Amino acid sequence: MPFTHLDENQQPQMVDVTDKAVTRRSATARALVQLTPEIMRQFDGQELQSKKGPVFHTAILAGIQAAKKTSELIPLCHPLPLTKCSVTIQAVDDVRVEIRATAVTDAKTGVEMEALTAASGAALTLYDMCKALSKAIVIEDIRLLEKTGGKSGDYQSAT
Amino acid sequence: MPFTHLDENQQPQMVDVTDKAVTRRSATARALVQLTPEIMRQFDGQELQSKKGPVFHTAILAGIQAAKKTSELIPLCHPLPLTKCSVTIQAVDDVRVEIRATAVTDAKTGVEMEALTAASGAALTLYDMCKALSKAIVIEDIRLLEKTGGKSGDYQSAT
Amino acid sequence: MPFTHLDENQQPQMVDVTDKAVTRRSATARALVQLTPEIMRQFDGQELQSKKGPVFHTAILAGIQAAKKTSELIPLCHPLPLTKCSVTIQAVDDVRVEIRATAVTDAKTGVEMEALTAASGAALTLYDMCKALSKAIVIEDIRLLEKTGGKSGDYQSAT
Amino acid sequence: MPFTHLDENQQPQMVDVTDKAVTRRSATARALVQLTPEIMRQFDGQELQSKKGPVFHTAILAGIQAAKKTSELIPLCHPLPLTKCSVTIQAVDDVRVEIRATAVTDAKTGVEMEALTAASGAALTLYDMCKALSKAIVIEDIRLLEKTGGKSGDYQSAT
Amino acid sequence: MPFTHLDENQQPQMVDVTDKAVTRRSATARALVQLTPEIMRQFDGQELQSKKGPVFHTAILAGIQAAKKTSELIPLCHPLPLTKCSVTIQAVDDVRVEIRATAVTDAKTGVEMEALTAASGAALTLYDMCKALSKAIVIEDIRLLEKTGGKSGDYQSAT
Amino acid sequence: MPFTHLDENQQPQMVDVTDKAVTRRSATARALVQLTPEIMRQFDGQELQSKKGPVFHTAILAGIQAAKKTSELIPLCHPLPLTKCSVTIQAVDDVRVEIRATAVTDAKTGVEMEALTAASGAALTLYDMCKALSKAIVIEDIRLLEKTGGKSGDYQSAT
């Protein structure tokens, strides 16, 4: 008999959170996106217009929708019903914008991946809306800024 | 620095329901669909047969499945785990059928959109099943009939 | 033996389009949505602002995304890769807006359901964005305006 | 007027679980998959390599992801947020492997379908990974092994 | 530097079908489901009624919809636009039914997994519809019956 | 009448590619992920083990699956049937790994977003698998490395 029991430490598994308490969880992530001066010149003070339409509006919606798909995109994430998801975009200098995404829920596990997925989804959509203008856009620095709740406690990014 | 902080009132956001209480929520919506006398002649007292199969059965299932996809279809809806979703179809006169959809859950926000999405999904499927017989089918009057639960209280449509 | 072969005419089936030719297909559908004078007063000439953000922009995106999900929402629809999907919204009088959705592809079957699903998805989202202002919004008159291509030929709605 | 009220016993419906209590639910299902001696010779003690990559890893991940999609795949299933989902694969003799899937949640209804869907999703993926080597693979014996929780009580399969 | 280039033969990959020709592909799969005599007594000659509604109709629709989700469920499957998908259910003896699923498309790769996924999705749904009557239902023998098209040629199952 | 025709340049739209030719399209994107020396010490020459299982394998599968969901995640992307999608991960120094994703299809529009979405999905999953070890992981530098095909011609990143 050639097969033996597989050591399950070597195989993928969803972490068992069954016996954890439901507590309030929040997380904020950010993505920096480096555009170009040409693209930034389309900025009218509130929005950036592309040939596909308003860039920030579309990216914010895509980020919120991506957050709701987190457990579908990341194989070992638990499905979590978000009670809040907000995404904002603002300029940090003359070629870069910062996307910030916050996710909140009452759950047995944290929402860091939901915040990171929202930021990434918004960044990819921003890229898509602007790519006719430049192929050299770079999504740089997607990271967790802070989280609260859960056994591992609160976290604040050094940056 | 060309960008300023975007006024978030002008950008899309999911309403924050984190601090709302979980209460029993229900909503009933309806969609009227105007078929044709030719289509209605296929009605056998319980079902309407099309070349794609039984129309009402298929439309009811599609409506229930659409309700489960509400937060995926409507960008700023919160994901809600339905505990009940029922869809019924009945004739209101010799060319029109009424689809009624009820959704129920215990949640922090209401299920009106789930009921409306169920009714719409069933109506579109009914259209699809019958469209080989007529292109002049009209989905008319999708509306909320009633809702219960939540801070804004109960609602009953005038019609 | 109690079971006999099921007559497949009585059971649901996807229409077999294997031997049909790939041709250019287009379809345009519309949905009329009856809002209220109070809601329409928020209109600034281009957009309608709600507490969830810009209404038309969000509804248009939701309509386009719904079109891409047509074969998932309508059980017996074939998956079709759209090459164009546009959604526009305009006022028709002081309480109603008209959503128009056009879908185009090169395929073996038509895109009527994609256009109707886009119009419905946009209408439901418009409802969701405005429902805090009124529960009496009605989606009225979702219909096919025209289609081109395919064996059944072109179609133009009487209205 | 040709239509009468449809008897809803004859039409599909999601079972109403609104008034059931939330309790701990678990279920374990299994799928036996009959491979071939040729395929089993690729087994290295822990994994089975195919031209598409590691078979068991991929099948386990697909099973967990399928469990999260249960309410999307099975029309009348309620959406349930799993707190645990584990899938393991082990050899039972020189041509067959057994997939075991366990799902756990705190909910108003059981997770049997989630466990069965996980086992089926893993079995189909195992098939897909190996089908270049043999078209004669058979998925045999998908069944519930046990469940706990809920009004109908615990269940243990005879086998 | 601890990392070296990963040998990609050991990592999962979608098979590259870019340079294969588009040809007509078809596949038929089946699933046998062992019910109980009690369940079979509900059979009325055409349908099997459960408290969730008509069993065969719902299972057939679920099978067709599952086929359209094949590339989402099976990680390394290519997305294929089906031009035909049919599912039928018939009794084979007094406790078992056979589900047959056929998928057809014009594509660069085969549709075996689509046919197998349709059969599995229908079998799981049949299980779900009947599980209130018995927990001892077994899905036995899911296999490919035949395929046509593609470089590897036609295949006919021995059984 | 308060509403006027909305200028559609200001509203989101999918670019119309109906009249473009179907040609071979490919794109390669990368994501750099900065882990920590502690995490990298788990590397065994081929894989990185976490408490959720093998990291690279899971991330690669998630990247491929994300690529297939591109048109669902990015609102104005066209659905494209990929004929190849490969993802590889390799170390670039003692704290960073590089994910490379290539997408290929024959289509009317390019696959840059598919390659970028694959790289991002793999990076997010890598983050998720390792986040129990460090919250300071950073996804840095997601960019297009090259593309071929289409009217805008080939592109090679300067870096």
Count the neighbouring beta carbons within 10 Å of the beta carbon of residue A7. 10
- Indicate the class that CATH gives domain B22-146: alpha beta
Any idea which residue has 């309620």 for tokens? D78
Out of B4, B10, B108, whose CB is closest to A83? B108
Q: Determine the 3-state secondary structure of F38 from DSSP.
A: helix
Work out the angle at residue E52's Cα, subtended by the Cα atoms of residues E49 and E53, and round it to the nearest 5 degrees.
Answer: 40
The chain A residue lying nearest D42, using CA atoms, is: A2
List the chains bordering chain B where 3 or more Cβ pairs fall under 8 Å.
A, C, D, E
Banded model confidence at residue C5, pLDDT cuts 50, 70, 90? very low
Is the pLDDT score of E4 beyond 70?
no
Show the tokens assigned to F75.
């609102």
Q: What is the ipTM of this complex?
A: 0.95
Residue E22 and residue E27: Cα distance in Å, rounded? 16
More confident residue, F51 or D124: D124
pLDDT tens sequence across C118-136? 999 999 999 999 999 999 9
**Average pLDDT of the residues in C14-43:** 94
Instruction: Judge whether residue D18 has pLDDT over 70.
Output: yes
Instruction: Determine the residue among F22, F24, F49, F84 to mutate to test chain E binding: the one whose Cβ has the most chain E Cβ atoms within 10 Å.
Output: F84
- Average pLDDT of span F13-37: 96
CA–CA gap between residue C143 and residue C32 (Å, rounded): 9
CA distance A101 to A118: 6
**Catalytic-role residue among C44, C106, C128, C141:** C128
Going by C-alpha positions, the residue among B102, B108, B56 that lies closest to residue B77 is B108
- The closest alpha carbon to D112, from D58, D141, D154, belongs to D154
Whole-angstrom CA distances from C138 to B135, C45, C101, C135 are 23, 22, 18, 9
- The CATH class given to the E23-147 domain equals alpha beta
Class at the top of the CATH hierarchy for domain D23-145: alpha beta
Cα distance between residue C145 and residue C155, in whole Å: 8
So which residues of E are the catalytic ones? Answer: 128
Q: Measured between alpha carbons, how far is D150 from D113 in angstroms, rounded to an integer? A: 14
Q: How confident is the model at residue B1 (pLDDT cuts 50, 70, 90)?
A: very low
Contact B4 A68 (CB under 8 A): no
Q: Count interface pairs E-F at CB distance under 8 A.
A: 77
Residues of chain A with pLDDT below 70 are 1-9, 159
Task: Say if residue D77 carries a ligand binding annotation.
Answer: yes
Q: What is d(CA D54, CA D63) in angstroms, rounded to the nearest whole number? A: 15
pLDDT of residue D4: 37
Smallest CA–CA separation between F68 and chain C, in Å? 13
- Give the residue-averaged pLDDT of C134-146: 96
Which one of E64, E71, E128, E148 would you mutate to disrupt binding with D, by most D Cβ within 10 Å of its Cβ?
E128
Task: List the chains bordering chain D where 3 or more Cβ pairs fall under 8 Å.
Answer: A, B, E, F
Q: What is the pLDDT of residue E59?
A: 97
**Is residue D88 exposed (0-12), middle (13-18) or buried (19+ Cβ within 10 Å)?**
buried
* DSSP labels, D126-147: HHHHHTTT-S--EEEEEEEEEE
**DSSP assignment of A95-149, as one string?**
SEEEEEEEEEEEESS--HHHHHHHHHHHHHHHHHHHTTT-S--EEEEEEEEEEE-
pLDDT confidence of residue B14: 95
Q: Average the pLDDT over C59-78 and give the result.
A: 98
Q: Give the minimum alpha-carbon distance from F58 to chain C in angstroms, rounded to a whole number.
A: 27
Q: What is the model's pLDDT at position A115?
A: 98
**Which carries the bigger pLDDT value, residue C43 or residue B121?**
B121
Alpha-carbon span C58 to A58, nearest angstrom: 8
CATH superfamily of F23-148: Molybdopterin cofactor biosynthesis C (MoaC) domain (3.30.70.640)
Cβ separation E53–B54 shorter than 8 A: no
Question: Residue D114 in 3-state DSSP?
Answer: helix
SS3 per-residue string spanning chain B = CCCCCCCHHHCCCCCCCCCCCCEEEEEEEEEEEECCHHHHCCECCCCEEECCEEHHHHHHHHHHHHHHCHHHHCCCCCCCCCCEEEEEEEECCCCEEEEEEEEEEEECCCCHHHHHHHHHHHHHHHHHHHCCCCCCCEEEEEEEEEEECCCCCCEECCC
Q: How far apart are the first and last CA of chain C?
A: 55
SS (H, E, C) chain C: CCCCCCCHHHCCCCCCCCCCCCEEEEEEEEEEEECCHHHHCCECCCCEEECCEEHHHHHHHHHHHHHHCHHHHCCCCCCCCCCEEEEEEEECCCCEEEEEEEEEEEECCCCHHHHHHHHHHHHHHHHHHHCCCCCCCEEEEEEEEEEECCCCCCEECCC
What are the boundaries of each domain within chain C?
22-146
Are B14 and A46 a contacting pair at CB < 8 A? no
User: Collapsing DSSP states into helix, strand and coil, what is residue A52?
Assistant: coil
Asked if pLDDT for residue B4 goes beyond 60, the answer is no
Task: Establish how many alpha carbons lie within 13 A of residue D140's alpha carbon, considering only the half-sphere containing its beta carbon.
Answer: 9
The gap between the terminal CA atoms of chain F, to the nearest Å, is: 55
Chains that touch F (3 or more CB pairs under 8 A): A, C, D, E
D87, amino acid identity: V
Q: Please report the pLDDT score of residue A4 as a whole number.
A: 37
Q: Report which of residues E15 and E41 the model is more confident about.
A: E15
CA distance E110 to E112: 6
8 A C-beta contact, residue C27 and residue E115: no
Gap from C1 CA to chain B (nearest CA, Å): 26
On whether the CB atoms of residues A140 and F140 are closer than 8 A, the answer is yes
Q: For chain C, how long is the longest CA-to-CA vector?
A: 70
Residue E118 C-alpha, separation from nearest chain F C-alpha, in angstroms: 20
CA distance A48 to C113: 33
Q: Which residues of D are less than 8 Å from E51 in CB distance?
A: 15
Instruction: Give me the pLDDT at residue A3, please.
Output: 35
* Of B106, C4, A147, nearest in space to D22 by CA: B106
User: Position of tokens 């990185």?
Assistant: F48
What is the distance between the alpha carbons of residues D57 and D68, in angstroms, rounded to a whole number? 17
Dist CA A148 CA A145 (whole Å): 11
